[in-house]
Copies of this chain bind each other. A is one copy, B any other.
Amino acid sequence: MNIIAILGSLRKASFNRMLLNAAIELAPAEMSIEIADISQFPLYNQDVENTGAPDAVKRLQEQIRSADGVLFVTPEYNYSMSGVLKNAIDWASRPPKENPFNGKPCAMMSASTSVLGGARAQYHLRQSCVFINLIPMNKPEVIVMKAMEKFDADSKLIDEATRKVVATFMQSFKEWIIRIGK
Q: Which residues of A contact B (CB under 8 A)?
A: 9-12, 14, 38-39, 41, 43-47, 77-90, 93, 115-116, 119-120, 123-124, 126-135, 138-139, 141, 143, 145, 179-181
Distance between Cα atoms of A126 and B10 in the complex (Å): 25
Interface contact A86-B93, CB-CB below 8 Å: no
CB–CB A82/B78 < 8 A = no
- B87:A84 contact, CB within 8 angstroms: yes
> Number of copies of this chain in the oligomer?
4
Contact A139 B132 (CB under 8 A): no
Given contacts A79-B127, A83-B85, A127-B126, contact A43 B39 (CB under 8 A): yes
In the assembled complex, the CB of A93 is this many whole angstroms from the nearest CB of chain B, namely 6
- Residues in B whose Cβ lies below 8 Å from that of A87: 43, 82-84, 86-87
**Interchain CA distance A46-B82 in the complex, whole Å:** 12
- The answer to whether A128 touches B78 (Cβ under 8 A) is yes
The 7 closest A-B CB pairs, nearest first, are: A83-B87, A83-B86, A10-B45, A79-B131, A78-B128, A11-B46, A83-B90
